[in-house]
Amino acid sequence: MTKVVLSMALAVFTLLPANAQIVKNDLLKGYKEGDVLEKTVYNDKRAPINVDTWCGGFTSKPVEGSVSPTIGKALTYEGYSEAGPSITLGFPQGVKGSRVSVYSLVESGKVYSKGTYYIACLVNFSKVGTNLADFLAASASYVGGGNRGQVYVRREGNDKIKFAVGLLKERAEAPMAYDCNKTHLLVLKVDYTKNEVSLFVDPELGQSEPKADIVVTGEEGALKAGLKSVALRNRNGFKGNIGNFRFAKDWAGAIGK
């Protein structure tokens, strides 16, 4: 009996390190299709934090007519463990500009300012513009702004899209084009040790981290500030869905292995 208990304890202990690297997942827990995403709006950049909550990001010039995104259909990707509803992208007819929604993680950035961090999600775009436009970021402010890793998308031809990643002023585009109206897995990596951000598009979902599709190294001190939120930028010209987020400290945690 003692041997059985000991074996079970050892098995649980072996699983703990991988599980401990998942910081946040199920960011749309409790939402159903048609629900409004943002629970409130940060009307002041010093407003108290709403931890682990989707809120409208602070801006001094709100876009007239813009509203919170709503919850849409579920997205799935073979081998990726995060499932559930997504966020519908796009603005009402006639509204121009963009709106940021943030999932506030922590008030003090010191918690997420050393080592590496990963933000994984699923996206499915049916319409984007011809110029690179950011839609996802790791933010150094819990009310939005001060991005320390941005993911961009643009249209390529009639039915393809291309992704890019940026760190402050530095930005680079991944070489391959991908299908519209298809669900893609994106993983944004923010590496404080190397002062760089990377983007993986539809990576192989093995235990080992593959080579990134694109890497951008920042200027000295670019990653000095810690991460405080996951930021989503919705805008006119977009149609599609994004969801199934995971925020982790290692590759296995990001993809759910």
Q: Kindly report, residue by residue over 40-54, the tens digit of the pLDDT.
A: 999 999 999 999 999
Of 4-18, 118-132, 202-216, 232-246, the least confident? 4-18
What is d(CA 202, CA 102) in angstroms, rounded to the nearest whole number? 24
The one-letter amino acid code at 61 reads K
Whether pTM exceeds 0.85: yes
b/e map 145-184, b = 16+ CB within 10 Å: bbbbbbbbbbbbeeeebbbbbbbbeebbbbeeebebeebb
